[in-house]
Amino acid sequence: MSDSAIKLSIFVYVPFDPEGLSPLFHTIQEALGARADYEILILDDGTGLGRQLIPSGHDLSIPIRVVHFGKKFGESVAVDAALQLTTGEAILTLPGVRPVSIEDITRLLEGLERGTDLVIGYRTEKMTGPLDQVQVRAFYWLTERATGTSFRDLSSGVRAFRREVSEEIALYGEMIRFLPILAVGRGYLVEEIDLRPPETGSEDQVKHPKAKPEFLSPVVYLNRLLDVLTLFFLLRFTRKPLRFFGSLGAMLLIPGLAIDIFLFVQRLFINDPLAGRPVLLLGILLTVLGVQTVSIGLIGEMIIFTHSREIRDYSIREVLE
């Protein structure tokens, strides 16, 4: 690392018992060498282990804190809470349940020193089950089509980013998973690097068991689809909600008005009765839903107009004079 290395806060996210964090801490110390400007926060997401997560015999010169949450809130909440407790100019997030190498950490930080705003890791090892692979490929294909950005691994949890990225992008729900996509939407520079696959039979692999597959549950998969819909709206229509709701409302309003006008003409000139015709109810329903949807878009536009000066959805790289 260069002498001009920026101050670093390291977040180790622990969602369940990792059966020991000592190998990870040893890797961090080896990668950072003699750097004295970094701290480590263990994000205990409701495991109840608390102080037990601090490795015995660790270097006392390295500040280590445990942020113990009362129950499981998810990585987005854990990282957002940890950001309020630190002042590091750069943030490095590492999963407490997956081994990382010295080279992985070094390359992540070197990316920041080259001027990249966010560097994420890509796990090169393949998922075992064929169903898992199909679901993952479908998820990333849909994400690319909805957002216009292509990333190979949004779930590794291995990432390094400048503090300003997290300050400009709100982290809630599962949004930290999509932090690279949101960062690209703001104009930040994002880089993806390959992570070293864990060595079979290594000490790291024994003490850091793999997390359970995420895409086996249909509920989890449905949640991911809803997250993609959220991303689609946030990236394309945050500043112009009327375009989204107006287009959707028009798709409902125009057929509804067409049906109502057609029935009105029939009743007026052909004297066809309207009673007992279900299509009349369909026309009225589509018209009412269309008007309501467009109204939601108009309300959204008024809210955006009122708070437009407070909303910043861009990043300035530099100002040249």
Sequence-ordered strand ranges (E) for 99-174:
118-123, 159-162
Looking at residue 3, its pLDDT comes to: 42
Q: What is the DSSP letter of 13?
A: E
CA–CA distance, 282 with 256 (Å, rounded to integer): 7
pLDDT of residue 276: 76
Contact indicator for 224, 154 with CB cutoff of 8 Å: no
Q: What is the pLDDT of residue 211?
A: 43
Q: 8-237 has which fold?
A: Spore Coat Polysaccharide Biosynthesis Protein SpsA; Chain A (3.90.550)
Cβ contact 122:162 at 8 Å: no
211-231: per-residue pLDDT in tens?
444 445 677 778 888 888 888
DSSP secondary structure string, 293-319?
A: HHHHHHHHHHHHHHTGGG---------
Which parts of 71-225 are beta strand (E)? 90-95, 118-123, 159-162, 190-195
Q: Distance between CA atoms of 58 and 308, rounded to whole angstroms?
A: 49
Residue numbers in the chain where pLDDT is lower than 50 = 1-5, 201-215
pLDDT given for residue 219 in this prediction: 75
pTM: 0.78
| pLDDT at residue number 57 | 63
What is the pLDDT at residue 268? 84
